[in-house]
Structure 1
Amino acid sequence: MATLNSSVACSSSNQRGIVKAAINIPRRVTNISLPGLRTGGLVEEMELHRSAEKQLSPVKISTIKRNEDNGPDPVVTAKLYAILEAVADRVEMHKNIGDQRANWNSLLLISINSLTLAAATMAGIAAISGRAPAVAMKLSSTSLYVAATGILSIMNKIQPSQLAEEQRNAVRLFKQLQNQIQTIISIGNPTVVDVKEMMEKVLTLDKAYPLPLMGAMLEKFPEKVEPAVWWPEQRRKQSKGNTGYNGWNGKLEEEMREIVKVIRIKDKEDYLRLGTKALNLNKVLAVAGPVLTGLAAVGSALVGTPSHGSWAVVLGVVGGALASVVNTLEHGWQVGMVFEMYRSNAGFFKLMEESIESNLREEERERRENGEVFEMKVGLQLGRSLSQLRDLAAAAAVKGEDNEEFASKLF
């Protein structure tokens, strides 16, 4: 009996232990899990919501990465590409118009010389013909001379060969600008300053080499020869954040000062002198051609009159022949094109002069273009190696204005 009671007590105690364990387990789950979810639920839900948005929005993630990596601004890059497209279009426009104006020069020269020689021939025939044929020949000769005088006056005013040279220069400079923009995009991280600078260069080139003739054409017979200018004003460069060595030192600065002196005294002045000679020659020829055809027209109209005799015949025939020679010299040899070439070359040296001086004027060397790169650019533009460039600067420092060597070996 005692044994039975003890076993019952054990089983009841075990059952009580099992029941207690079953009751304690839910109580622990309730105490740990449920209150924890309610106290931190709002913050955790917000964090989960944000992380879900980042995972579902790749655009926002890429934007954040660009800003963190300090990458290129897509708007700035788009603007540079827009400028690049406009520059490429201008290259084609100037090329096509340049070819057209070169054809003008050839066709107008052939046409005017044909009119002039035909008029001279008719004036000679009228002098030896009978009365009735002479009148017809005289009228035809005079009409051709008048037409040749009018067309030649217009041709001498616009100078087609000079216009063609202007467009060739514009094509070269716009291609150069196109390469500069492509380099900026390739290097990466362009800025708003780059966009503004490229815009100014495009507009300055448009002004320097205009496409239309009426109202915008460059002066073909200026009072004084000035170098062509196709670049905006040199401004102070922004600091690139490099406070260390920028390639500049006292020796390089002195070298650049001597090279500027040579460019100013020798190269630029020489091309301005040659440009003045070409301009003066072109002025004489431009006036002589219409004058000779005009006198020949008067002479042909007076052929056969007793009061003037043989002088009218000489003026009508010889005047036309001389006019053809003058026209061939002016437009066949393209004197206007030669003048524009000299003016453009002088502008090239003026640009080099301003570029070097703008760097030397900047006292903060970190704002300058890198000295080693700049020295290499100057050498390439002058057709010299770095050693030849330094030898030129050394010779100029010793001889001064007595130095006979030009800076450029290209032209």
Structure 2
Amino acid sequence: MATLQTSGIMCSSSCSSSTSTSSQDRRGVIIRATLNVPRRMTNISLPGLQTKGIVEELELHNCTDKKLSPINVNTFRRNNSNGPDPLVMAKLYAILEAVADRVEMHNNIGEQRSNWNSLLLTSINALTLAAATMTGIAATSVVSGGAPVAALQLSSTVMYLSATGMLSIMNKIQPSQLAEEQRNATRLFKQLHNQIQTIIAIGNPTTSDVKEMMEKVLALDKAYPLPLLGAMLEKFPTNIEPAVWWPEQRRRQAKGLDRKKSWNGWNGKLEEEMTEIFGVIRKKDKADYLRLGGKALKLNKFLAISGPVLTGLAALGSAFVGSPNHGSWAVVLGVVAGALASVVNTFEHGGQVGMVFEMYRSNAGFFKLVEESIESNLTENDMERRENGELFEMKVALQLGRSLSQLRDLAASSSGKGEEDIEEFASKLF
């Protein structure tokens, strides 16, 4: 056993001793140790003597020059320099939560204002028809020499005046148009929510992405306000303009996807195609929806004025029912004007003419957005700052409800034609 200890010390004393010599000595030691074990201790295992000396291996590595070591410790260190900025990610998630809350708010308020339209329509028509019925009963009682009709006259007049006031407020705020605004806002905020999720999923968002999303949220808040007093959109504008819910188009950062080619997916043929699509959208689609919106607005103005005027005349007629100096015209005015008022009110708010106008205005805004996106890419001289050409072409085709081949055919068929000669609209969706 003394020989074993001496041999182990000599093996670890110097780093310059050869590996083959230490291995031979060690094998010799193992043999001698095994021979010296008595027979009565054959069940004892010696695992430490069957493996390489741990101390010897550690000292051997420590004596080796670090430059010759095949292991680079620095390669195991985590490099987070290419990862997303935690502050930028936190800001994007904060915007994402705000957008999700906006979606819920606009959805709830849209349902509330849709209920306003149906409840107010039912209530006003009920008041108008009840007042017309009372006026007729009062006139019948006067002709037949019945009991005094002062109570019926007063009741019908009060109901007509109430219907006139409620109808004037309803025509001012246009609940069906308000509900359509909230539906559009809900859809657009959901779209923005998906865009933020896409930016986070792709990875490495920047501060410019945060700024862009903030601008989009504020632009949507301005385009579709929640409160009524002081912030409600003009329901009867003098000039019809497309709805605008996006911020001003600014110069993009270089985000080209096709790094192998300096054109970033663009070529002369694609630019000509987008130029033709731009012209078709402006001359046909956007112009057509603005024209239809103008007609819906004129109709809505006429109906909004006619309803309160008719109920006001009916109130005046009901007040003079039974008067010997005014004959039967008061009865006719009180009954017929009330019936006509209920018809006009039903057509305006039951047919949701205000909602139709807002739908046309929103569709014109959609085409204006596509038009501006095409124009901003074509006017950008730096190809790397443009959106990738192939991706942009596919987006435009999907927005217009066309395949890529149909989009190219539309551009070819409209090339060199005037506004009157273009027969096909750009969009196949609506």
TM-score by length of structure 1 reads 0.83
Q: CA–CA distance in 2 between the matches of 1:249 and 1:140?
A: 76
Q: CA–CA distance in 2 between the matches of 1:323 and 1:71?
A: 67
The within-5 A match list for 1:36-47 is: none
Q: CA–CA distance in 1 between the matches of 2:379 and 2:210?
A: 24
- 1:11-42 CA-to-partner distances (Å, cap 9, x unmatched) read xxxxxxxxxxxxxx9xxxxxxxxxxxxxxxxx
The one-letter amino acid of 1:285's match is L
- The answer on 1:100 being equivalent to 2:100 is no
Residues 290 and 364 of structure 2 are in contact (CA less than 8 Å); yes or no, is this contact kept in structure 1?
yes
How many residue pairs match? The answer is: 351
- 1:200-251 CA-to-partner distances (Å, cap 9, x unmatched) read 0000000000000000000000001100000000001112374634110000
Q: CA–CA distance in 1 between the matches of 2:149 and 2:228?
A: 42
- The answer on 1:235 being equivalent to 2:250 is yes
The within-5 A match list for 1:260-275 is: 260-275=278-293
- The answer on 1:328 being equivalent to 2:350 is no
Alignment-derived partner of residue 91 in structure 2: 79
- The answer on 1:404 being equivalent to 2:414 is no
Q: Displacement, 1:71? A: 1.3
The one-letter amino acid of 2:86's match is P
Alignment-derived partner of residue 257 in structure 1: 275
Q: Which deviates more from structure 2 when the two are superposed, residues 389-398 or residues 159-168?
A: 389-398
Q: CA–CA distance in 1 between the matches of 2:220 and 2:255?
A: 27
The one-letter amino acid of 2:290's match is L
The one-letter amino acid of 1:275's match is G
- 1:322-369 CA-to-partner distances (Å, cap 9, x unmatched) read 000000010000000000000000000000000000000001111100
Alignment-derived partner of residue 43 in structure 1: none
Q: Which has the higher helix share?
A: 1
Q: Displacement, 1:131? A: 6.1
Q: Displacement, 1:132? A: 4.3
Q: CA–CA distance in 2 between the matches of 1:151 and 1:177?
A: 37
Alignment-derived partner of residue 211 in structure 2: 196
The one-letter amino acid of 1:66's match is N
Among 121, 136, 151, the residue aligned to 1:136 = 151
The one-letter amino acid of 2:276's match is E
The within-5 A match list for 1:205-216 is: 205-216=220-231
Secondary structure in 1 matching 2:149: helix
Unaligned runs of 5+ in 1: 1-24, 26-50
Among 318, 325, 330, the residue aligned to 1:307 = 325
- 1:263-318 CA-to-partner distances (Å, cap 9, x unmatched) read 00000000000000000000000000000000000000000111111000000000
Q: CA–CA distance in 2 between the matches of 1:199 and 1:92?
A: 18
Alignment-derived partner of residue 139 in structure 2: 127
The within-5 A match list for 1:7-22 is: none
RMSD of aligned alpha carbons: 1.5
Secondary structure in 1 matching 2:266: coil
Secondary structure in 2 matching 1:214: coil
- The answer on 1:361 being equivalent to 2:379 is yes
Q: Share of identical aligned residues, percent?
A: 79
Q: Displacement, 1:382? A: 0.2
Q: Displacement, 1:400? A: 3.4
Among 105, 117, 123, the residue aligned to 1:111 = 123
Q: CA–CA distance in 2 between the matches of 1:175 and 1:117?
A: 43
Q: CA–CA distance in 1 between the matches of 2:310 and 2:422?
A: 46
Alignment-derived partner of residue 152 in structure 1: 167
The within-5 A match list for 1:338-349 is: 338-349=356-367
Residues 262 and 383 of structure 2 are in contact (CA less than 8 Å); yes or no, is this contact kept in structure 1?
no
Q: CA–CA distance in 2 between the matches of 1:75 and 1:119?
A: 65
Q: CA–CA distance in 1 between the matches of 2:332 and 2:422?
A: 54
Secondary structure in 2 matching 1:232: coil
The one-letter amino acid of 2:400's match is L
TM-score by length of structure 2 reads 0.80
Alignment-derived partner of residue 187 in structure 1: 202
Q: CA–CA distance in 2 between the matches of 1:328 and 1:120?
A: 16
Q: CA–CA distance in 1 between the matches of 2:263 and 2:312?
A: 70
Q: CA–CA distance in 1 between the matches of 2:358 and 2:152?
A: 41
Q: CA–CA distance in 1 between the matches of 2:162 and 2:331?
A: 19
Residues 249 and 376 of structure 2 are in contact (CA less than 8 Å); yes or no, is this contact kept in structure 1?
yes
Q: Displacement, 1:179? A: 0.4
- 1:62-85 CA-to-partner distances (Å, cap 9, x unmatched) read 5xx111xx1110110110000000
Q: Displacement, 1:133? A: 3.6
Alignment-derived partner of residue 3 in structure 1: none
Q: CA–CA distance in 1 between the matches of 2:188 and 2:353?
A: 22
Alignment-derived partner of residue 39 in structure 1: none
- The answer on 1:382 being equivalent to 2:397 is no
Unaligned runs of 5+ in 2: 1-12, 14-72
